[in-house]
C-alpha cells in the first residue's frame, strides 16, 4: 500500500492515557511514543477513558475487578464502592457514540480494570489477588459490540509479529471498505477477493476457499448479507497467524506467474532467498521485495494488484523481523 499526500487517516479507538492525556487514577498518563509518533501520521485517534467518561474524577481511588471472569464487578480499593452499574451505563452510551465514527480498530491499555483486553487480574472481596483473569468492563463491552474489529493492547504491540498482524488487519479493513463497501456489487466483491488471494493464503488457506465460495455465490438479491458475512470471515482469517510455512506456500504459488520468464540467475537468486527466509535467516521483506521487482519487471498485472505485496505503508517498517 503506497501513501500519498491525500492519504486519509484511519479512525482508531485508543485508551486516552496512551495519547498522553492525564486521566489515570493517580493523575498521570501513559503516553506511548510508538502510537503517537510512529503511527500518528496514519491514524486519526479517537480517545476514550471509561473512568472519566463515567463521571469519576482525576485523581480517584484505584479500582479492582472482583467476582468471576464472566461477571466481574468494578470495586474501589479504598472505599469498597461498587462502580459496576455506573461503568456499564457508560459502556452502553460510548458504544452507541462510537458506531458512527467508523472505527477500524482499538488499542487498549493493558491490565486496566476498564480497558484491559487480556489477562486483567481478578481480586477477592477482601482485596486479595486471585489466580484468575478476565477483561476490563469497557474492553469486554466493546469487543462484544464490534466482534470483528482488530483490537490489541499497547503492551502486546511491542511484539513484532503481533504488531504486524494488527496493522495488517487495520489496513486490510480500510482497503475492504474503500474498494468494496463504498460501491458494493457482486463484481466488486469477486475482484476484491481475487486481489486478496495471497494475503488470505498466507493466513488461512481454508478461509481462502470458504471466502472464494462465498464471493462466487454472491447475487444482487443477497448482496448485503453476503458482504456482511464476507467482512466478518475475512477479518477472522487475517487474525490467524501468518506462519513461515504459509508465507512460503503463498510465495511459491506467486512464483509460478513468472517462473518461465526468469533468467537462470534470477531463478537461482529467488530460490536462495526463499530458502533463507524459510530458515528464518532473512525477514519476509526480502523475498517480498524481490517478488515486487519481478512482478513489475515482467509486468505481471495480476501480481502487481495483489494486496499481499503492498499490505501497508512501507514507512511503518513491518515485515522487517526475521
pLDDT at residue number 320? 67
pLDDT at residue number 4? 45
Angle, CA 176 vertex, CA 175 and CA 181 arms, to 5°? 125
pLDDT at residue number 313? 82
pLDDT of 248 > 90? The answer is yes
Phi then psi for residue 223, to 5 deg, are: -65, -45
Question: Residue 315 — very low, low, confident or very high, per pLDDT cuts 50/70/90?
Answer: confident
Contacts of 242 by beta carbon, 8 Å cutoff, 6+ apart? 165, 202, 203
Nearest one of 142, 146, 138 to 120, comparing CA atoms: 138
DSSP string across 51-108? HHHTT--SS---EEEEE-SSSEEEEETTT--B-HHHHHHHHHHHHHHHGGGT---EEE
pLDDT at residue number 322? 52
**What mean pLDDT, rounded, does the chain reach?**
94
pLDDT at residue number 166? 96
pTM of the model: 0.92
pLDDT at residue number 6? 64
pLDDT of 306 > 60? The answer is yes
Which grid coordinates are listed for 4?
Answer: 500519498
Beta bridge partners of 63: 76
Q: What is the pLDDT of residues 102-114, one digit of tens each?
A: 999 999 999 999 9
pLDDT at residue number 181? 85
Q: What is the pLDDT of residues 159-203, one digit of tens each?
A: 999 999 999 999 999 999 999 988 999 999 999 999 999 999 999
Determine the average pLDDT of the residues in 279-285: 94
Percent of the chain with pLDDT over 90: 93
Which grid coordinates are listed for 120?
Answer: 486483567
Determine the average pLDDT of the residues in 2-27: 87
Query: Rounded to an integer, what distance in angstroms lies between the CA atom of residue 189 and that of residue 187?
Result: 5
3-17, 86-100, 177-191, 193-207 — which is least confidently predicted?
A: 3-17
38-42, 118-122, 311-315 — which is least confidently predicted?
A: 311-315
pLDDT at residue number 321? 61
pLDDT at residue number 209? 98
pLDDT of 1 > 70? The answer is no
Beta strands in the chain (DSSP E): 10-15, 43-48, 63-67, 72-76, 106-108, 120-123, 129-134, 151-153
Phi then psi for residue 134, to 5 deg, are: -155, -165
Whose grid coordinates read 466493546? 142
Nearest one of 262, 269, 246 to 295, comparing CA atoms: 262
Question: Residue 7 — very low, low, confident or very high, per pLDDT cuts 50/70/90?
Answer: confident
Whose grid coordinates read 505503508? 313
Query: Rounded to an integer, what distance in angstroms lies between the CA atom of residue 203 and that of residue 206?
Result: 9
pLDDT of 299 > 90? The answer is yes
Percent of the chain with pLDDT over 70: 96
Question: Residue 316 — very low, low, confident or very high, per pLDDT cuts 50/70/90?
Answer: confident
Q: What is the pLDDT of residues 254-266, one digit of tens each?
A: 999 999 999 999 9
Q: What is the pLDDT of residues 38-65, one digit of tens each?
A: 999 999 999 999 999 999 999 999 999 9
pLDDT of 149 > 70? The answer is yes
pLDDT of 5 > 90? The answer is no
Amino acid at each position: 500500500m503506497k501513501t500519498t499526500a491525500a492519504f486519509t487517516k484511519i479512525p482508531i479507538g485508543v485508551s486516552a492515557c496512551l495519547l498522553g492525556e492525564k486521566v489515570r487514577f493517580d493523575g498521570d498518563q501513559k503516553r506511548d511514543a510508538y502510537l503517537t509518533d510512529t503511527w500518528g501520521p496514519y491514524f486519526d485517534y479517537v480517545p476514550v477513558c471509561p473512568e472519566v467518561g463515567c463521571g469519576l474524577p482525576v485523581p480517584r481511588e484505584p479500582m479492582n475487578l472482583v467476582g468471576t471472569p464472566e461477571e466481574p464487578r468494578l470495586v474501589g480499593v479504598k472505599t469498597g464502592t461498587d462502580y459496576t452499574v455506573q461503568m456499564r451505563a457508560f459502556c452502553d452510551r460510548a458504544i452507541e457514540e462510537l458506531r458512527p465514527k467508523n472505527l477500524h480498530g482499538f488499542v487498549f491499555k493493558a491490565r486496566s480494570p476498564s480497558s484491559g483486553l487480556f489477562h486483567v487480574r481478578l481480586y477477592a472481596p477482601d482485596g486479595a489477588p486471585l489466580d484468575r483473569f478476565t477483561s476490563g468492563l469497557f474492553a469486554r463491552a466493546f469487543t462484544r459490540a464490534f466482534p470483528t474489529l482488530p483490537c490489541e493492547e499497547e503492551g502486546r504491540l511491542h511484539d513484532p509479529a503481533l504488531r504486524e498482524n494488527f496493522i495488517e488487519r487495520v489496513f486490510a479493513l480500510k482497503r475492504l471498505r474503500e474498494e468494496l463497501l463504498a460501491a458494493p456489487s457482486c463484481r466488486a466483491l469477486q475482484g476484491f477477493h481475487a486481489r486478496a488471494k495471497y494475503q488470505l493464503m498466507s493466513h488461512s488457506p481454508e478461509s481462502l476457499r470458504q471466502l472464494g465460495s462465498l464471493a462466487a455465490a454472491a447475487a444482487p438479491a443477497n448482496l448485503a448479507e453476503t458482504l456482511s458475512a464476507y467482512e466478518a470471515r475475512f477479518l477472522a482469517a487475517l487474525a490467524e497467524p501468518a506462519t513461515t510455512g504459509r508465507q512460503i506456500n503463498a510465495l511459491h504459488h506467486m512464483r509460478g506467474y513468472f517462473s518461465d520468464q526468469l533468467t537462470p540467475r534470477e531463478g537461482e537468486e529467488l530460490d536462495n532467498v526463499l530458502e533463507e527466509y524459510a530458515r528464518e535467516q532473512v525477514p519476509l521483506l526480502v523475498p517480498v521485495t524481490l517478488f515486487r521487482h519481478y512482478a513489475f519487471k515482467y509486468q505481471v498485472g495480476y501480481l502487481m494488484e495483489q494486496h499481499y505485496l503492498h499490505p501497508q505503508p512501507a514507512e511503518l517498517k513491518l515485515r522487517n523481523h526475521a
